[in-house]
Structure 1
Amino acid sequence: MNKLILALTCAAALSASSSAFAGGDSARGAELTKKYNCASCHGADYKSPIDPSYPKLAGQHADYLAHALTAYQRGDKIMNGRNNAIMAGMAQPLSDRDKADIAAYLQSLPGPLVVKK
């Protein structure tokens, strides 16, 4: 019985910590986007990329952005991976927390993306 209570307590603690972590720290994300120089390709406002084939990141959904960074880490050799040499190199050193923080920051920016209802 004690092991069951301990296991349930640990599971609840992990669940609470992962949900708090999932939100991401947008201030830290702003610093990370500077560190990795994301604006050099995606534009200073993250909605005016230097090439029309590059995505507009400002205002994009955080879960999508974090997933995209994970996909670049995986590469095209694994299902649901993405193949881009520049982004693969940029995404490789990112931790899950880094990705969540970057995604939170980019989502917080005003952007041209519109959700239709």
Structure 2
Amino acid sequence: MTIKNHAIAPALIALLAALALAACSGGGEGHGEDAGHEAPAHTSSSAGLPNGNVGAGETLASTKGEATGQSCVDCHGSEGNAPIDATYPKLGGQYADYLGHALQAYRSGDRDHALMSSQAKGLTDQQIADLAAYFASRESQLRDLHNVH
């Protein structure tokens, strides 16, 4: 290998790293608009879900479920950050994949909770993806438990 090739290698590595980061980011924050529709918040899901739509998730989060007569925001609060009970989690800013996996587990019965299992049972994969995208797009009030006093 010549000295000339050694000078190119770091630049090539930096370029490849930048391309990989751009691909992982999905090209932006996921809040842009395209022909009047909000762009999906995520382009892939480890839960095997379709792309989620933030706007559809926002509407669904306020829609009363047939099983319980409650909506997501009735229990988890506005934008998922004001739960009605301290034992209910804050959803705003949570990872979309985590929310997707959790809702799938409630739907399948692998995770059991009197209200959540009933709420999730009738959700489609697209609805789960939309809810996950919406709550992930909200401001986070999550905190690291290492900092809890």
Tell me whether the two structures share a fold, i.e. TM-score over 0.5. yes
Pairs aligned (count): 94
| SS of residue matched to 2:129 | helix
Question: What code does the residue aligned with 1:52 have?
Answer: A
| Aligned mates of 2:91, 2:60 — CA distance in 1 | 14
**Paired residues for 1:19-98 under 5 Å:** 19=44, 22-36=50-64, 37-75=71-109, 81-98=110-127
| Aligned mates of 1:19, 1:62 — CA distance in 2 | 10
Change over 3 Å in CA distance of 1:19–1:65 after alignment to 2: closer
TM-superposed CA distance for 1:45, in Å, is: 3.2
Give structure 2 stretches of 5+ with no counterpart: 1-42, 65-70, 145-149
TM-superposed CA distance for 1:19, in Å, is: 4.6
Structure with the larger helix share: 1
Question: What code does the residue aligned with 1:61 have?
Answer: Y
| Aligned mates of 1:50, 1:38 — CA distance in 2 | 11
Normalization by structure 1: what TM-score? 0.72
| Aligned mates of 1:33, 1:60 — CA distance in 2 | 15
Partner deviation per Cα, 1:66-114 (whole Å, 9 max, x = no partner): 1000010121xxxxx2111111111011110100011000000001125
| SS of residue matched to 1:35 | coil
Give structure 1 stretches of 5+ with no counterpart: 1-17, 76-80
| Aligned mates of 2:44, 2:87 — CA distance in 1 | 33
**More RCO (CA 8 Å, sep 6+):** 1
- Larger Rg belongs to: 2
TM-superposed CA distance for 1:57, in Å, is: 0.2
| SS of residue matched to 1:22 | coil
Question: What code does the residue aligned with 2:124 have?
Answer: S
